[in-house]
Amino acid sequence: MSVYVAVIGGARASQKDLERSEEVGREVARAGAVLVCGGREGVMEAASRGARSQGGLVLGILPEEDRSAANPYVTVAVATGMGNARNAVIVKTADVVIAVGGGYGTLSEIGLALNVGRPVVGLETWRLYRGEDRDEGIREAASPREAVAVALELARRQGGSGPG
């Protein structure tokens, strides 16, 4: 059974975040993992495009009740009708989460993931503090390739089933 890697980030993202997300998607697919995302635009679409360019499987968990809202690179669209509450479905479906940039929606997904024990790897995303102390819940990566490698290792350590 494959590892499920959620890629999260902003619907409105910088060009740099879009490029990184697309590379993350390519690396996820090359590893034989399933890419899970919110199924819409921005980071989600870029990661989906990258995964599909390598023949990968993309699972889009949509906030709407209509599957047609998915970006064109989603392989399997799940229409939840849950709005932002679908973020919980994304993180519970994944074995590990990669956050690329992102706004408050991304921050909510990071919090949900950490709360339910899903490892989080970040590419220029949020940093967490408790008072003056840095919270190390988000593992920082310097590149898309490193983010995917670390994510897959963390998923395996957590008992993820591994690619293929």
- pLDDT tens-digit readout, 25-74: 999 999 999 999 999 999 999 999 999 999 999 999 999 999 999 999 99
Q: Is the dihedral of CA 123, 129, 134, 138 positive or negative?
A: negative
Q: Where are the domains of the chain?
A: 4-157
pLDDT at 159: 77
Which band of pLDDT confidence, cut at 50, 70 and 90, is reported for residue 163?
very low
User: How many whole angstroms separate alpha carbon 34 and alpha carbon 17?
Assistant: 20
Q: What is the pTM of this model?
A: 0.94
Closest CA to 96 of 156, 41, 22, 30: 156
Query: Looking only at Cα atoms, what is the longest distance across the chain?
Result: 45
Percent of the chain past pLDDT 90, that is, above it, reads 93
DSSP letters, the chain, are -PPEEEEEE-SS--HHHHHHHHHHHHHHHHTTPEEEE-SSSTHHHHHHHHHHHTT--EEEEESSS-GGGS-TT-SEEEE---GGGHHHHHHHH-SEEEEES--HHHHHHHHHHHHTT--EEEES---EEETTEEETTEEE-SSHHHHHHHHHHHHHHTT-----
Beta bridge pairs of residue 78: 61
pLDDT at 160: 59
Query: For domain 4-157, is the CATH number 3.40.50.450?
Result: yes
User: How many whole angstroms separate alpha carbon 23 and alpha carbon 25?
Assistant: 5
